[in-house]
């Protein structure tokens, strides 16, 4: 999953390693500077690197006092100390080309522009002026910066879904929205099974009264799972259907109402008006946006449009197992301020995975 993005992040690590791959000692035949000779000889003699750093720093600090170097650049003292203690300082020039390549790689992976810029800014902030021991790897420094940058954008708005279900007054009403054909109805069935595995009962309510065949589709899922389905004839009032589902759940001690809605575009005034009416009549506890991970930037744009129109609480991305780019998974939460809650990872009812930002970041940075 997201293998293409994983490869691109690995490429950034390699770019930075190459740009900072310098020799600790002068090349054979080159004349060492007095400071370098003093530092390296002293380290070889007794290993007291910190003492050497202090001595070398004292020698060069006076030289740097009169310089007009930019305060943001590593000072001569910092460079001398870094060299004397066997470290390498990461500088702007080391990151310029790797960061450009990373930006192109993220955009090619359908990561939204503002999200890519945020990642780059965080990586730059965490790496510039940082030093690493020569006995460590630059790759470890890169991985740490990428980890923090990715988690920063992926984990926006994250909350514990099951904890919220457990704490809410029953029945909990969840309405699903999104465009046609992205797996919305199937995701409802999968979430019903996910809830059942954790001891929560659910009823399905078909508020998609707009599309021919919608009742039959969700009825097939309800039959396979052994769930009750609340539905009206085609053309009925979607808000009334979901309201009836809430009434049924309250009367029969059902924990969760899962309400489907007609697939809609944000530009469809009639369908958006239906969604607004559902909000007024039912006042759902959560509204979840569903789209395909493989839709990439389109999914990100639609998530923002739906959030603007109906204020979603979170998202489910289907077909995540078929997505190499990972752009939607990286971008949706940051763009909307609302978390990704689940990933659809297959065709079975059990193929719904709780979204864990930390686990995703670790998988993206795992070199194995």
Rg (CA), the chain: 28
269/220: higher pLDDT: 220
The long-range contacts involving 356-360, CB below 8 angstroms and separated by at least 24 positions, are 357/151, 357/154, 357/155, 357/158, 358/151, 358/155, 360/2, 360/154, 360/329
Do 212 and 260 lie in a common domain?
A: yes
What is residue 85's predicted lDDT score, i.e. its pLDDT?
46
Do 111 and 63 lie in a common domain?
A: yes
Do 259 and 337 lie in a common domain?
A: yes
What is residue 47's predicted lDDT score, i.e. its pLDDT?
47
Question: What gap in Å lies between CA 103 and CA 120, rounded to an integer?
Answer: 7
Do 223 and 346 lie in a common domain?
A: yes
> Do residues 221 and 186 lie in contact, with contact meaning Cβ atoms separated by under 8 Å?
yes
Checking if the pLDDT of 98 tops 60, the result is: yes
Q: Which of the four pLDDT bands, split at 50, 70 and 90, describes residue 135? A: very low
Question: What gap in Å lies between CA 239 and CA 228, rounded to an integer?
Answer: 18
Q: What is the DSSP letter of 295?
A: G
219/54: higher pLDDT: 219
The fraction of the chain above a pLDDT of 70, given in percent, is: 75
Do 124 and 182 lie in a common domain?
A: no
Residue at 364 is within a domain: no
Min mean pLDDT across 3-17, 101-115, 126-140, 236-250 is at 126-140
Q: Which residues contact 168 (CB under 8 A, 6 or more apart)?
A: 285
CA atoms within 13 A on the CB side of 85: 19
Do 103 and 167 lie in a common domain?
A: no
Characterize 292-328 residue by residue with b for buried, 16 or more Cβ atoms within 10 angstroms of its Cβ, and e for exposed: bbbbbbebbbbbbebbebbebbbbbbbbbbebebbbb
Cβ atoms within 10 A of the Cβ of 128, count? 17
* Total count of domains within the chain: 2
Checking if the pLDDT of 256 tops 90, the result is: yes
Characterize 52-78 residue by residue with b for buried, 16 or more Cβ atoms within 10 angstroms of its Cβ, and e for exposed: bbebbbebbeeeeeeeeeeeeebbbbb
Q: Which of the four pLDDT bands, split at 50, 70 and 90, describes residue 156? A: very high
Structure tokens, 41: 């000889």
Residue at 195 is within a domain: yes
Do 41 and 186 lie in a common domain?
A: no
Q: Which residues contact 278 (CB under 8 A, 6 or more apart)?
A: 175, 207, 238, 239, 242, 259, 261, 284
Do 317 and 175 lie in a common domain?
A: yes
Question: Which of 7-11, 77-81, 213-217, 272-276 has the highest average model confidence (pLDDT)?
Answer: 213-217
Checking if the pLDDT of 88 tops 90, the result is: no
Q: Which residue has the tokens 């589709």?
A: 217
Checking if the pLDDT of 312 tops 60, the result is: yes
8/119: higher pLDDT: 119
Do 65 and 50 lie in a common domain?
A: yes
Do 75 and 186 lie in a common domain?
A: no
Residue at 362 is within a domain: no
Checking if the pLDDT of 60 tops 60, the result is: no
Question: What gap in Å lies between CA 261 and CA 275, rounded to an integer?
Answer: 8
Q: Which residues contact 188 (CB under 8 A, 6 or more apart)?
A: 176, 204, 218, 221, 258, 260
Structure tokens, 182: 């992205």
pLDDT in tens, 214-253: 889 999 999 999 999 999 888 788 899 999 999 999 999 9
266/91: higher pLDDT: 91
CATH classification at residue 34:
1.20.120.140
From 107, 122, 154, the end of a domain falls on: 154
What is residue 15's predicted lDDT score, i.e. its pLDDT?
74
84/318: higher pLDDT: 318
The stretch 68-96 carries a mean pLDDT of 56
Min mean pLDDT across 208-212, 231-235, 271-275 is at 271-275
What is residue 18's predicted lDDT score, i.e. its pLDDT?
74
CATH classification at residue 273:
3.40.50.300
Question: What gap in Å lies between CA 114 and CA 147, rounded to an integer?
Answer: 18
CA 17 to chain centre: 25
What is residue 83's predicted lDDT score, i.e. its pLDDT?
47
Do 184 and 322 lie in a common domain?
A: yes
Beta bridge partners of 116: none
Checking if the pLDDT of 202 tops 70, the result is: yes
Do 106 and 238 lie in a common domain?
A: no
Average pLDDT, the chain: 80
Residue at 65 is within a domain: yes
Min mean pLDDT across 35-49, 165-179, 319-333 is at 35-49
What is residue 151's predicted lDDT score, i.e. its pLDDT?
94
Q: Which of the four pLDDT bands, split at 50, 70 and 90, describes residue 101? A: confident
Strands 352-354 and 340-344: antiparallel
Structural domain range at position 180: 161-357
117/83: higher pLDDT: 117
From 105, 139, 154, the end of a domain falls on: 154
From 88, 121, 154, the end of a domain falls on: 154
41/337: higher pLDDT: 337
């Amino acid at each position: 999953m997201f293998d293409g993005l994983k490869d691109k992040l690995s490429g950034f690590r390699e770019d930075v390693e190459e740009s900072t791959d310098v020799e600790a000692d002068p090349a054979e035949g080159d004349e060492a500077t007095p400071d370098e000779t003093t530092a390296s000889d002293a380290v070889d003699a007794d290993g007291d690197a910190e003492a050497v750093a202090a001595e070398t720093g004292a020698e060069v600090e006076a030289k740097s006092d009169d310089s007009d170097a930019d305060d943001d650049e590593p000072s001569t003292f910092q460079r001398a100390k870094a060299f004397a203690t066997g470290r390498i300082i990461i500088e702007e020039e080391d990151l310029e080309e790797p960061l450009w390549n990373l930006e192109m790689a993220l955009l090619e992976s359908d990561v939204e522009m503002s999200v890519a810029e945020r990642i780059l800014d965080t990586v730059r902030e965490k790496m510039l002026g940082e030093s690493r021991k020569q006995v460590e790897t630059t790759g470890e420094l890169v991985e740490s910066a990428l980890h923090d940058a990715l988690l920063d954008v992926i984990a926006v708005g994250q909350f514990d879904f099951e904890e919220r279900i457990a704490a809410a007054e029953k029945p909990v009403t969840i309405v699903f929205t999104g465009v046609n054909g992205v797996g919305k109805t199937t995701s409802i069935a999968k979430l019903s099974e996910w809830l059942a595995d954790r001891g929560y009962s659910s009823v399905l309510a078909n508020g998609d009264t707009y599309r021919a065949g919608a009742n039959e589709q969700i009825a097939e899922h309800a039959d396979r799972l052994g769930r009750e389905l609340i539905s009206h004839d085609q053309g009925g009032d979607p808000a009334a259907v979901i309201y009836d589902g809430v009434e049924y759940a309250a009367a029969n001690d059902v924990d969760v109402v899962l309400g489907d809605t007609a697939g809609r575009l944000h530009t469809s005034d009639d369908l958006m008006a239906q969604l607004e009416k559902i909000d007024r009549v039912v006042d759902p506890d959560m509204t979840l946006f569903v789209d395909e991970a493989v839709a990439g930037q389109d999914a990100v744009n639609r998530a923002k449009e739906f959030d603007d129109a109906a204020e979603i609480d979170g998202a489910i991305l289907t077909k995540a197992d078929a997505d190499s780019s990972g752009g939607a998974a990286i971008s949706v939460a940051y763009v909307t301020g609302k978390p990704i809650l689940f990933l659809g990872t297959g065709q079975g009812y059990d193929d719904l995975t709780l979204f864990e930002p930390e686990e995703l970041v670790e998988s993206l940075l795992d070199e194995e």
